[in-house]
Amino acid sequence: MDCSRRDESVLPHTFVDYDENPREYNLSAVNTLIDIHTRVSDLYSKPYNQISEQLRLAIEKIKERQESELINNADYGLLNSVAKKQVIKMRLGPPTPDDLDELLTKVWKNPSFFLLHPQAIAAFGRECTRKVVPPPTVSLFGSQFITWRGIPLIPSDKVPIVKGKTKIILVRTGESKQGVVGLYQPNLPGEQTPGLSVKFTGINDKAIASYLISLYCSLVVLVDDALAVLEDVDVTNYHEYKY
């Protein structure tokens, strides 16, 4: 490229490279079968519909599994999709404001949220209290979340803790921001929510009705700087306060 001079010099030529063999992302399936005896659904569906309640509870469990897969899946999970240059180590052990600032230098363009275990949030809160820099809170989805530099800390117990050590993930989301994008199959037969369907599979000779619940999901990190991870975060450090 050339910053235009006031003459008629020849402009440089360039091109935007592309991958001739881009990766193809396959949707991962989470499936289960719910068996309900027709006698139960016929006789005990007031005041609560037994089929609806059974399906509701099973769907909640499947969504919990989906959350775990999006974080930990060996093929597409966040922790296994981060580029090496986007991984940083703890300076001391417990998560301090300085460590989160360091993580923000890796995803500095429109970061969406930190994702971390609730124990890591508690450990960060202890360090903020010790340094007398209480983090502000923000209301999201009807709940209060603490923030750092205006970025919310979203808890997930699916972020693993091993021997008192865990990780903190920083994510930028959205296709328009070249961030992390969730993938799903739209317009499924029996679709309940995006990517999730419920199908009735029949009643066997023991009068047991079966329902197949399927959830198809995956995610893609569009560019490397949409995702960063802070490793070796110690959540076992406590302080004694004197008043």
**Per-residue pLDDT, 16:** 85
- Has residue 120 been placed in a domain? yes
Q: Which residues of the chain have pLDDT under 50?
A: none
Distance CA 136, CA 49 (A): 43
Domain of residue 150, residue span = 28-234
Distance CA 161, CA 165 (A): 5
- Has residue 126 been placed in a domain? yes
**Per-residue pLDDT, 3:** 74
What is this structure's pTM?
0.88
- Has residue 48 been placed in a domain? yes
**Per-residue pLDDT, 236:** 93
Q: Is 225 left (phi over 0), alpha (psi -120 to 50) or beta?
A: alpha
**E strand or H helix at 123, and its extent?**
helix 118-130
pLDDT digits (tens, 9 = 90+) for 75-103: 999 999 999 999 999 988 899 999 999 99
- Has residue 17 been placed in a domain? no
**Per-residue pLDDT, 62:** 95
Distance CA 81, CA 72 (A): 10
pLDDT digits (tens, 9 = 90+) for 204-214: 999 999 999 99
- Domain count for the chain, please give it: 1
- Has residue 20 been placed in a domain? no
Q: Nearest-CA neighbor of 169 among 96, 63, 67, 87?
A: 87
- Has residue 15 been placed in a domain? no
**Per-residue pLDDT, 243:** 64
- Has residue 229 been placed in a domain? yes
Distance CA 184, CA 220 (A): 11
- Has residue 190 been placed in a domain? yes
Cβ contact 127:101 at 8 Å: no
